[in-house]
A and B are shown apart, each in its own frame.
Chain A
Amino acid sequence: MQYQLTRRTVLLIWSVLVIVPLLVVVSGTFKTTRELFSSPFGPPRQLTVHNYAEVLGGGQNMAGAFVNSVVVTVSSVLLTLLLGSLAAYGIARIPGWRGWLIYGFLVLGMSVPAQANMIPQYVLFDSLGLTNSLIGLALINIVITLPITVFILTGFMKTLPREIYEASSVDGAGPWRTYYSIVMPLSLPSIAAASIFLFVISWNELLYPLLFIHDPSKRTIPLALLNFQGEFLTDYPLLFTGVIIASAPIVLAYLFLQRYFIAGITAGSVKG
């Protein structure tokens, strides 16, 4: 009895702590600064899109940053999935220490923080003319997310029964054919889980855009958002509007892909 009371109280408090700031942000995007300060918790007096128009179309060019982010995120997630799944497939099928060696080497990158190698990376990208470029950003995203992708996908592909590989080679399918017509379709759940993960990381990536991008027209969303900080200082309604625009795709995608994510977990547990 006492346990249930404690449980409910704790869960209620944390729910309020999560929900209230989020509601303040959403309703704040429809308020003026004065209205937000005088009644932060209340509903907006009117549903004006004034703040949205200013953030998207004003000097900040958040709309341009949005397009840049879409280009960088989509291209880097797709290519990371391609390269990562190819590598994971090879690793899962190469027996003995050779497979483990390739795996260990690639996955070791997960434990190297970005700050540890960003300086030589900057020098390298700069010498190749890939700083201040969206291609450079996509490339660095691919490189830094490959280790975790190989980790997730290899873990899944190793659970696929060996007979699948053997049966397909008896049928005369080469390794390449087996990869795209058998292993990839079967790995769809883990690909979906990995793509959610990669999408969130790439969309929210701040450090490398901050290092690489000098030209305001090439800013991505997190970098544009960070710039708001200096530009608007305490004009919270505009900051909040930036937050909503930055988060919208990821929230929508998460709601949509969550089903695949859950399906992935259940499909993965029916492995043997």
Chain B
Amino acid sequence: MRRAHPALYLFPVPALVLYVIFFAVPTLQALQYAVTDWDGFSASYNYVGASNVSKLVTNDDLFRNALFNNLKFMLVVVIFQTLLSLLFAIFLTRNSRSSVLLRALFFFPTILSSVSVAFIWKFVYDPNFGLINTTLGAVGLDSLKSPFLGDSAKAIYFVAIAQVWFHTGQMMVIYIAGLQQVPAELYESAELDGAGRWAQFRYVTWPMIAPATAIVIAYTTIQSFRAFDLILGISGNPPQPSLDILSTRIYLTFVNSRFGYAAAESVLFMLLIAAVTLLQRRAVRLTQAQS
């Protein structure tokens, strides 16, 4: 049984054929387009070398704006989504009836489409009739009312909150799976050693769920870069500049028929995601080492 039946090599072929033609080759072509000035329609184009990339890095305010918006968005989402999902997971680890029910409830927003979530939060934030400002007005706290998405300095943070509402339940489920793997004896012996709740968390739970934390953070980061649908749904197409993130920027460059330049943006986008993911992996490993 060491040698595979030759027919077995046929099984992955249909998937591989589609994947190569429609996924792998286009990914490589993006690298090629990135060094051209192609507009998507002309029969010919010029190779412009690294000039697309150097313009993006040094001299493109729109791209820089989208980059910073995206990083702000990512920072808020990663911090709050990770902390909240861990907190809820700890609170709901035991398989009691109420815990199972609350897990199902907290997970629920995840299955909605991003555009649906965007519409819900558009109403929550509506400056005149929205849920928050209406409630504040009703209890006499008019001074706290905000234009929310109309406040261009803060708009991206408000959308980040919507994203946290959207996906915290999903991350909670990953954490619960991790927490349920921690052997109960570890807690028992920690308790015998006189460890309080915080010490138990710090020296038992946190190191034991490090793999789950790594998954949650990586997943959340990638979601923050892919929040295209949420932004478009909440802000309209095209989105307002204060909500432009990298994925919407690439899309807008593309629909403006600057294929070469958009491809260069997408290559930087991919590199950035890879770099951020690697940095985070190192950071998570460092906090483990300290424990």
A interface residue numbers (CB < 8 A to B) = 3, 7, 10-11, 14-15, 17-22, 24-25, 28, 36-37, 40-41, 83-84, 86-87, 89-91, 93-95, 98-99, 102, 105-106, 109, 111-124, 139-140, 142-144, 146-147, 150, 162, 165-166, 169, 174-176, 179, 200, 203-204, 206-207, 210-211, 221-222, 225-226, 228-230, 234, 236, 239-240, 242-243, 246-247, 250-251, 254, 258
Instruction: For the complex formed, measure the closest distance between the CB of A6 and the CB atoms of chain B, giving whole angstroms.
Output: 9
Interface centre among A3, A20, A28, A226 (most CB of B within 10 A): A226
Complex CA–CA separation, A268 to B22 (angstroms): 32
Complex CA–CA separation, A3 to B131 (angstroms): 31
Contacts of A115 in B (CB 8 A): 228, 246-247, 250-251, 266, 269
Complex CA–CA separation, A109 to B87 (angstroms): 32
Smallest CB gap from A200: residue in B: B111
Contacts of A10 in B (CB 8 A): 87-88, 91
- Secondary structure at the A interface, as helix, strand, loop or mixed, is helix
- Cross-chain contact of A206 among B115, B124, B129 (Cβ < 8 A): B115
Taking the complex as formed, is B33 at the interface, i.e. its CB lies under 8 A from any CB of chain A? yes
Given A14-B88, A119-B30, A229-B233, A222-B115 contact (CB < 8 Å): yes
Contact A94 B9 (CB under 8 A): yes
Given A10-B87, A236-B123, A206-B232 contact (CB < 8 Å): yes
Contact A112 B108 (CB under 8 A): no
Contacts of A91 in B (CB 8 A): 12
Contact B88 A102 (CB under 8 A): no
- Cross-chain contact of A162 among B1, B91, B104, B113 (Cβ < 8 A): B1
Instruction: For the complex formed, measure the closest distance between the CB of A4 and the CB atoms of chain B, giving whole angstroms.
Output: 10
Contact B115 A246 (CB under 8 A): yes
Contacts of B108 in A (CB 8 A): 18, 22
Instruction: For the complex formed, measure the closest distance between the CB of A92 and the CB atoms of chain B, giving whole angstroms.
Output: 9
- Cross-chain contact of B91 among A7, A121, A150, A175 (Cβ < 8 A): A7
Contact A117 B27 (CB under 8 A): yes
- Cross-chain contact of A226 among B16, B222, B237, B246 (Cβ < 8 A): B237
Complex CA–CA separation, A226 to B104 (angstroms): 27
Contact A139 B111 (CB under 8 A): no
Given A11-B88, A118-B254, A109-B247 contact (CB < 8 Å): no
Contact B236 A230 (CB under 8 A): yes
Smallest CB gap from B229: residue in A: A206
Contact A225 B116 (CB under 8 A): yes
Cβ < 8 Å to A, chain B residues 224-238: 225-226, 228-229, 232-233, 236-237
Pick the 9 closest A-B CB pairs, nearest first: A90-B11, A120-B26, A120-B29, A204-B113, A87-B15, A87-B12, A37-B129, A117-B26, A243-B116
